[in-house]
């Protein structure tokens, strides 16, 4: 198979879909790899590094899309990239389609086979291709929030960990999954007073054991969320419904009751955000203020630490890339139901239920389009 990786073009996105190590693995299995010139420069990988691993460098993204049987990326294809996709071409990347009707329609119109990192599953019910970036985003959320709390950044001027004689900040984390756990690790480590809310009693019990009483756990109800955010200096939105739009846990009406200058970091923004007032921002212009509350809603947070993120992501995606390339997409999906869960769009049909429900499309099961 011929696999292509273009340079990412989303604002301040420096990650890359394949590393030289991945190229070497693919070429050792007899595949051809095309890399757009400069694709890895943002994390210090040169064209020469790719060539030494066996890749062929092409000058434009158009050449990648024109020649590749499968395109391996990081972020969802931008409109100019969607326009280059063709019928029967495999796209393997993050998609986050539920809150993005324009991208969904563009993928459907292209006739491509779009497999989303964020809905690939594993035997334990986890999301192995989302987890590495959730770990990064969770840890970043605290450092981003701590910076936004500084007075010069528009925040309330509270130091996250406090100092002797002055209380630490109150941090509230909505969701105890991978993002929430990693956010809590950093916040607790910095000395903040942390409360984490979730609807899984088993998860809350696990968190209580892991943190040995160093944070508070609460069962998530509307009342509990409202009480906690009212007293918080920093709120982390870490909820996830796989493939679906995030639920709106904090409404606009709650904001006037919050502390002026407090900060919310919406890690769920890729899935539409879990704060009613959230809208996507960029690393270049990451925050805005609504009702005196600072909102940080960067839609590609892990791109800010692109070196770490690229290697963490490609370590997880490479086995699936090898399977898709080695078997062809159809056989790879038939053989692996966990990879098959990643199939969101197939030749003009929506094959992921949560996406179809969110966007109003007819849902066609993957088993039907693959004739399993």
Catalytic residues: 96, 270
Q: Cα 72 from chain centroid? A: 16
Question: Alpha-carbon distance 93 to 115, whole Å?
Answer: 7
Strand residue runs (E) in 27-88 = 32-36, 56-58, 70-72
Q: Which residues contact 25 (CB under 8 A, 6 or more apart)?
A: 318, 322
Nearest-CA neighbor of 3 among 309, 13, 17, 11?
A: 17
Which residues face 173 on adjacent strands? 196, 236
Q: Which DSSP string corresponds to 97-152?
A: -TT-HHHHHHHHHHT-EEEEGGG---TTS--TTTHHHHHHHHHHHHHHHHHHTSGG
Kind and range of the H or E run holding 90:
strand 90-93
Nearest-CA neighbor of 250 among 240, 236, 260, 261?
A: 236
Question: Alpha-carbon distance 235 to 256, whole Å?
Answer: 15
Phi and psi dihedrals of 123, rounded to 5?
Answer: -65, -25
DSSP letter for 209, please: H
Which residues face 114 on adjacent strands? 91, 345
Q: At which residue do the structure tokens 């063709």 appear?
A: 86
Q: How many CB atoms lie within 10 A of CB 299?
A: 20
280 CB burial (10 A radius; 0-12, 13-18, 19+): middle
């Amino acid at each position: 198979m011929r696999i292509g990786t273009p340079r990412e073009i989303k604002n301040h996105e420096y990650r890359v879909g394949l590393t030289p190590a991945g190229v070497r693995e693919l070429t050792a299995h007899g595949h051809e790899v095309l890399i757009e010139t400069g694709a890895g420069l943002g994390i210090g990988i040169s064209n020469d590094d790719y060539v030494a691993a066996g890749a062929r460098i092409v000058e434009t993204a158009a050449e990648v899309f024109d020649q590749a049987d499968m395109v391996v990326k990081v972020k969802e294809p931008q409109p100019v990239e969607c326009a280059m996709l063709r019928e029967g071409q495999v796209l393997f990347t993050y998609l986050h389609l539920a809150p993005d009707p324009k991208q969904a329609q563009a993928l459907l119109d292209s006739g491509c086979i779009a497999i989303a990192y964020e809905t690939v599953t594993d035997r334990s019910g986890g999301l192995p291709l989302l987890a590495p970036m959730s770990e990064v985003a969770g840890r970043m959320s605290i450092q981003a929030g701590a910076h936004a709390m500084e007075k010069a950044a528009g925040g309330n001027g509270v130091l996250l960990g406090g100092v002797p004689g002055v209380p630490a900040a109150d941090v509230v984390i909505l969701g105890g999954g991978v993002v929430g756990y990693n956010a809590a690790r950093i916040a607790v480590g910095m000395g903040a007073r942390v409360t984490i809310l979730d609807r899984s009693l088993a998860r809350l019990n696990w968190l209580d054991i892991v943190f040995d009483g160093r944070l508070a756990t609460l069962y998530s109800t509307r009342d509990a969320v409202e009480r906690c955010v009212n007293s918080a200096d920093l709120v982390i939105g870490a909820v996830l419904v796989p493939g679906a739009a995030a639920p709106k846990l904090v409404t606009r009406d709650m904001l006037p009751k919050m502390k002026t200058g407090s900060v919310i970091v919406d890690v769920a923004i890729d899935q539409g955000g879990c704060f009613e007032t959230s809208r996507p921002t960029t690393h270049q212009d990451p925050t805005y203020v609504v009702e005196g509350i600072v909102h940080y809603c960067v839609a590609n947070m892990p791109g800010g630490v692109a070196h770490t993120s690229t290697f963490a992501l490609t370590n997880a995606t490479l086995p699936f890339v090898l399977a898709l390339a080695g078997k062809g997409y159809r056989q790879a999906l038939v053989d692996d139901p966990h990879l098959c869960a990643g199939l969101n769009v197939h030749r003009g049909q929506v094959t992921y239920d949560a996406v179809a429900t969110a966007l109003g499309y007819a849902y066609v099961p993957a088993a039907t389009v693959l004739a399993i």
